[in-house]
Amino acid sequence: MSDNKDFTQADGHGYILDRNHIAACRLNLQHYLWREALEFTVNPTVHIPKEAVVADVACGTGLWLLDVAKAHPDTQLHGFDLDLAQAPHAAWLPPNIQLHKWNLFDNIPAEFESKFDFVHVRLVVLVLTGENTQSFVKKLMQLLKPGGYLQWDELDCVNMRVRKVNPAIASPALDEIHSLCYSGGRHDWTLTIPEMLAEEEFTNTSMTKFGDKPGLARAFNDQHMLTMEEFAAGMIRVGKHDVANKAFDLIGKAHGESVRGATLCIPRIVVVAHKPL
């Protein structure tokens, strides 16, 4: 997109997306789509011991924690987020789930150092820029007990594409949204997560890629458009109205393209690693 009307405009503004009821619905949809695409909540290669202590960093609406609590009722689960307004009230959570406010750019509270058998993190790609990721990796290592597991789920924007049922379908709006999301490679760092983990001495690191199943391609596309609308609204809040207006215009046009059989597909990656004993 010309004139840098892309996600680099969010740099320096923290979490640019919304935290209202519509944003919570988008996060919940995103959770269920990811679960359907991955076909797991916890990677099968991760061993969760009995009475494990588990952390979910950037826990959002808390659905991942609720899934794990159901599958592993003997675990103690802790969710961390800068803002807990989208999560259920504490009185509505199972007794083995606790939520905590934590800014991932801050130091880890002392009581959580080396506390967790398993740490999960998903979709911090819009918060981290690639320049501040290594310090975040250090904090993930600090959260884990020796021998603990990390699972980090992210988007693969390098292999993002516009997918069509017929190559002849015109998709100028989705093509431009693709360029906006790619943002000159702003998010390419996610494919280097294994190397960043190795630098902090994580071991047994693996990365698995997951594309869009045909039956889910339209659903994921619509979820991406919801994210784009939140991005545009965020641009208005920080005074970048030209960026917002361009995004809203593209989203409206992209809907028609998706009805005709074109979708924005952003593959997912899951990285699993181990903290040495």
Structural domain boundaries enclosing 239: 2-274
First to last CA, the chain: 47
> Are 59 and 31 within 8 A, CB to CB?
no
Task: State how far the Cα of 61 lies from the Cα of 166, in Å rounded to an integer.
Answer: 37
Average pLDDT for the chain = 93
Q: What is the mean pLDDT of residues 207-216?
A: 96
In Å, the largest CA–CA distance within the chain is: 58
| Ramachandran sector of residue 39 (left: φ over 0; alpha: ψ -120 to 50; beta: rest) | left
The tally of domains found in the chain comes to 1
Cβ-proximal residues to 20 (8 Å cutoff; 6+ apart), any chain: none
Q: What is the mean pLDDT of residues 64-87?
A: 97
Q: What are the φ and ψ backbone dihedral angles of 238, each rounded to 5 degrees?
A: -100, 15
Binned at pLDDT 50, 70 and 90, residue 132 comes out as: confident
One-letter amino acid at 66 equals: L
Classify 182 as helix, strand or coil: helix
Q: What is the mean pLDDT of residues 231-248?
A: 89
Task: State how far the Cα of 215 lies from the Cα of 238, in Å rounded to an integer.
Answer: 37
- Specify the pLDDT at position 7: 55
Specify the DSSP class assigned to residue 185: G
- Specify the pLDDT at position 10: 53
- Using a 10 angstrom Cβ sphere, with 0-12 exposed, 13-18 middle and 19 or more buried, the burial of residue 89 is exposed
Q: What are the φ and ψ backbone dihedral angles of 180, each rounded to 5 degrees?
A: -60, -45
C-alpha pair distances (Å), 155 with each of 75, 111, 241: 28, 31, 27
- Specify the pLDDT at position 13: 47
Pull the structure tokens for residue 45.
């290669």
Question: Is pLDDT at 1 greater than 50 in this prediction?
Answer: no
Q: What is the mean pLDDT of residues 242-257?
A: 94
- Using a 10 angstrom Cβ sphere, with 0-12 exposed, 13-18 middle and 19 or more buried, the burial of residue 194 is middle
CATH of the domain at 218: 3.40.50.150
Q: What is the mean pLDDT of residues 121-143?
A: 93
Task: State how far the Cα of 6 lies from the Cα of 90, in Å rounded to an integer.
Answer: 37
